[in-house]
C-alpha cells in the first residue's frame, strides 16, 4: 500500500511514498521541510528524539543577518522579531578592558539577532504541524537504502513497527552523530578535521545580562563568553579542559571562574540561579563532497565548527536554502544542474566559516602547549584586530555573515 504522508499525518502506513525524506528535526531538517513546503514539495521528517527533547536542547544563540532575514522572508520569523535581541556589535575584552567591534558601522548596518536555537526549532515544528505536515518523532534503527539510485528509501522503526519511506531525494540533516554520512560507501568522502584540546562549559542563568552586547573575553586563565537569551536570562561559557566533567563544576566554582576571567574595571558580573549546564567538545570537521547519488548532507552532518564564531546553525540554514532551491529546480523542470552543484555551492561558504571559526578560536583560547611567545602573538593579534579598521571589518563581516561578491 502506498499512502501519501499528508493524508496519513500522525497515523503512518508501513510504506509511505514522498518526494523528499528528511532525516533529523534540527534546524537544518526543519528549515528544509519548511522551504520545500513553500514550494509545494512534499516531505516527511523523521527524528530519533522526542519533540520535547529537541524543543529544549540548549545550543546556539546567534543568528547572522542572513539567517534572521531567511526566517522573516519565509514566514517563520514572527516570534524571533518580537523576542529576539538585535545587536549591532560585540565587545572583545582583553587586558581587563573592552574594545567594541561596531558591526553597524563596519558592515553597512548589518547585525545579528540573539535568539535561542531551540526557539527556532519550536517555531518551525509548530508551523509544520499546524499545516498538517508530518514529523515522526522517536524513530529508531534508521537505515538509508539505494541512495545511488533515483529511487532511494529510508527504513526505520516507529513504535516498534517497521516503516519505510520511498522517495526521490534523501536529505541527511541528522547532525554530526547521525547515520546519513556513514551510509555513503567508504572511499567516497574526503574528511578534514581538527580536535581542540579544550571544551566549553555553558550555563543558562536566571539573571539580567550584565552587558547589552556579547563579550568575548581573552584571559590567561582561559576564554570566557558572556551572552544572553532575554532580558532576564544569561548564557555564559567558560573554556575548560577537553576531558572535564560537569560534576566537578558546582555552581559556585563556575561563578568564581567567570568572575576571575571577566573582571574589568568599573564593571561587575551579576550572578543568579543556574538553570542548565553542560560541556560541549570543540571540533573542526568537513566532509567533501556533501552529496552522494540522491543523498544530500546538510548542516552538522557534513561539517562542524568550534562555536567561537557562532557559525554552526547559520551554516546549517544556508545549506538547506541552497538545497531547497536545487530541489525546486529539479521538480519544476527535471533540471539536476543545481543538485549536481549543491556541494560546491555550499563548500565555499563552509570553508570561509571554518577559517573564521578556527581563527577566532585560536586568537581567544589558551592552548595547553602555548608558551609566553604564543600568548604575546595572541595579544598582538587582538590589539591589531580592534585598532585597524581593515581587521575590525574582517571580523565584523564574517561575524554577521560574509556575503560573496562573486558567484
C-alpha cell belonging to residue 332? 519544476
27 binds ligand FAD (CB under 6 A): yes
- Half-sphere exposure of residue 198, counting CA atoms within 13 Å on the CB side? 22
Known catalytic membership, residue 307: yes
**The binder of ligand FAD chosen from 94, 200, 296, 356 (CB under 6 A):** 200
**The binder of ligand DHB chosen from 26, 29, 61, 111 (CB under 6 A):** 61
Known catalytic membership, residue 399: yes
307 binds ligand DHB (CB under 6 A): yes
Hey, is 136 helix, strand or coil? Answer: strand
- The residues in 165-224 that bind ligand DHB, with binding defined as CB under 6 A, are 214
307 binds ligand FAD (CB under 6 A): yes
- Judged by beta carbon distances under 5 to 8 A according to partner kind, the member of ligand FAD, ligand DHB, none in contact with residue 235 is ligand DHB
Known catalytic membership, residue 196: no
399 binds ligand FAD (CB under 6 A): no
Site string for ligand FAD, 69-108 (x = CB under 6 A): ----------------------------------------
> What CA–CA distance (Å, rounded) separates 261 from 163?
52
State the pairing for strand pair 224-230/215-217.
antiparallel
- Residues in contact with ligand FAD, counted by CB under 6 A, come to a total of 36
Q: Which stretch binds ligand FAD (CB under 6 A): 1-9, 69-77, 175-183, 336-344?
A: 175-183
124 closest CA partner among 79, 180, 60: 79
278 closest CA partner among 311, 315, 306, 236: 236
Known catalytic membership, residue 311: yes
Q: Which stretch binds ligand FAD (CB under 6 A): 77-85, 167-175, 268-276, 375-383?
A: 167-175
Which single residue is written with the C-alpha cell 551579576? Answer: 270
Annotated active-site residue in 115, 196, 216, 237: 216
> What CA–CA distance (Å, rounded) separates 130 from 182?
33
Least spacing, CB of residue 332 vs ligand FAD, in Å:
26
Partnered with residue 261 across adjacent β-strands are none
Is the Cα torsion angle 62, 65, 70, 76 positive or negative in sign? positive
24 binds ligand FAD (CB under 6 A): yes
61 binds ligand FAD (CB under 6 A): yes
The Cα-based distances of 307 to 3, 26, 216, 382, 399 in angstroms read: 42, 17, 12, 18, 12
Least spacing, CB of residue 234 vs ligand DHB, in Å:
9
Annotated active-site residue in 88, 307, 342, 365: 307
> What CA–CA distance (Å, rounded) separates 294 from 276?
39
> What CA–CA distance (Å, rounded) separates 190 from 186?
10
- E strand or H helix that includes residue 8: none
- E strand or H helix that includes residue 76: none
308 binds ligand DHB (CB under 6 A): yes
235 binds ligand DHB (CB under 6 A): yes
Q: Does residue 289 have a cis bond before it (omega within 30 degrees)? A: yes
- Dihedral of CA atoms 239, 217, 208, 56 in degrees, nearest 10, equals -40
112 binds ligand DHB (CB under 6 A): no
> What CA–CA distance (Å, rounded) separates 191 from 101?
34
Q: Which stretch binds ligand DHB (CB under 6 A): 59-67, 74-82, 119-127, 296-304?
A: 59-67
C-alpha cell belonging to residue 356? 573564521
Least spacing, CB of residue 209 vs ligand FAD, in Å:
15
Known catalytic membership, residue 192: no
26 binds ligand FAD (CB under 6 A): yes
State the pairing for strand pair 161-166/153-158.
antiparallel
255 closest CA partner among 268, 265, 242: 268
Which single residue is written with the C-alpha cell 570566557? Answer: 224
Annotated active-site residue in 87, 88, 303, 365: 87
- Give the residue with the Cβ less far from ligand FAD, 10 or 369: 10
**By the criterion CB under 6 A, which residues form the site for ligand DHB?**
60-62, 214, 225, 227, 235, 307-308, 310
Residues forming the active site:
87, 216, 307, 311, 399
**By the criterion CB under 6 A, which residues form the site for ligand FAD?**
23-29, 46-49, 54, 59-62, 117, 139, 142, 173-175, 178-179, 200, 202, 280, 299-300, 307, 310-314, 316
Amino acid at each position: 500500500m502506498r499512502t501519501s504522508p499528508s493524508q496519513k499525518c500522525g497515523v503512518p502506513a508501513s510504506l509511505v511514498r514522498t518526494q523528499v525524506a528528511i532525516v533529523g528535526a534540527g534546524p537544518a531538517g526543519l528549515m528544509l521541510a519548511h522551504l520545500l513546503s513553500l514550494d509545494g514539495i512534499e516531505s516527511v521528517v523523521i527524528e530519533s528524539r522526542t519533540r520535547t527533547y529537541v524543543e529544549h536542547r540548549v545550543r546556539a544563540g546567534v543568528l547572522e543577518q542572513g539567517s534572521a532575514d531567511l526566517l522573516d522572508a519565509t514566514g517563520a520569523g514572527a516570534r524571533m522579531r518580537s523576542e529576539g535581541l538585535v545587536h549591532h556589535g560585540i565587545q572583545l575584552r582583553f587586558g581587563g578592558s573592552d574594545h567594541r567591534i561596531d558591526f553597524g558601522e563596519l558592515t553597512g548596518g548589518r547585525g545579528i539577532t540573539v535568539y535561542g536555537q531551540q526557539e527556532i526549532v519550536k517555531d518551525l515544528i509548530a508551523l509544520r504541524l499546524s499545516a498538517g505536515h508530518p514529523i515522526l518523532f522517536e524513530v529508531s534503527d534508521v537505515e538509508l537504502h539505494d541512495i545511488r539510485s533515483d529511487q532511494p528509501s529510508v527504513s526505520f522503526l516507529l513504535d516498534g513497527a517497521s516503516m519505510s519511506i520511498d522517495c526521490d531525494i534523501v536529505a541527511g540533516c541528522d547532525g554530526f552523530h547521525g547515520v546519513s554520512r556513514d551510509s555513503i560507501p567508504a572511499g567516497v568522502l574526503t574528511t578534514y578535521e581538527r580536535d581542540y584540546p579544550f571544551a566549553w562549559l555553558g550555563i543558562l542563568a536566571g539573571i539580567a545580562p550584565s552587558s547589552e552586547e556579547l563579550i568575548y573575553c581573552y584571559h590567561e586563565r582561559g576564554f570566557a563568553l558572556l551572552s544572553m537569551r532575554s532580558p532576564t536570562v544569561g548564557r555564559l561559557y567558560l573554556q575548560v579542559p577537553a576531558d572535564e566533567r560537569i560534576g566537578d563544576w558546582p555552581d559556585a566554582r563556575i561563578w568564581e571562574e567567570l568572575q576571575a576571567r571577566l573582571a574589568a574595571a568599573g564593571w561587575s558580573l551579576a550572578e543568579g540561579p543556574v538553570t542548565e549546564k553542560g560541556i560541549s567538545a570543540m571540533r573542526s570537521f568537513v566532509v567533501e563532497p556533501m552529496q552522494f547519488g540522491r543523498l544530500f548532507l546538510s548542516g552538522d552532518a557534513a561539517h562542524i565548527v568550534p562555536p567561537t564564531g557562532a557559525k554552526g546553525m547559520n551554516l546549517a540554514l544556508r545549506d538547506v536554502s541552497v538545497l531547497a532551491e536545487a530541489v525546486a529546480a529539479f521538480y519544476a523542470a527535471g533540471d539536476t544542474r543545481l543538485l549536481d552543484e549543491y556541494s560546491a555551492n555550499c563548500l565555499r561558504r563552509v570553508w570561509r566559516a571554518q577559517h573564521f571559526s578556527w581563527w577566532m578560536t585560536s586568537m581567544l583560547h589558551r592552548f595547553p602547549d602555548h608558551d609566553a611567545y604564543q600568548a604575546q602573538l595572541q595579544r598582538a593579534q587582538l590589539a591589531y584586530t580592534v585598532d585597524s579598521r581593515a581587521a575590525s571589518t574582517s571580523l565584523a563581516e564574517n561575524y554577521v555573515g560574509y556575503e560573496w561578491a562573486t558567484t
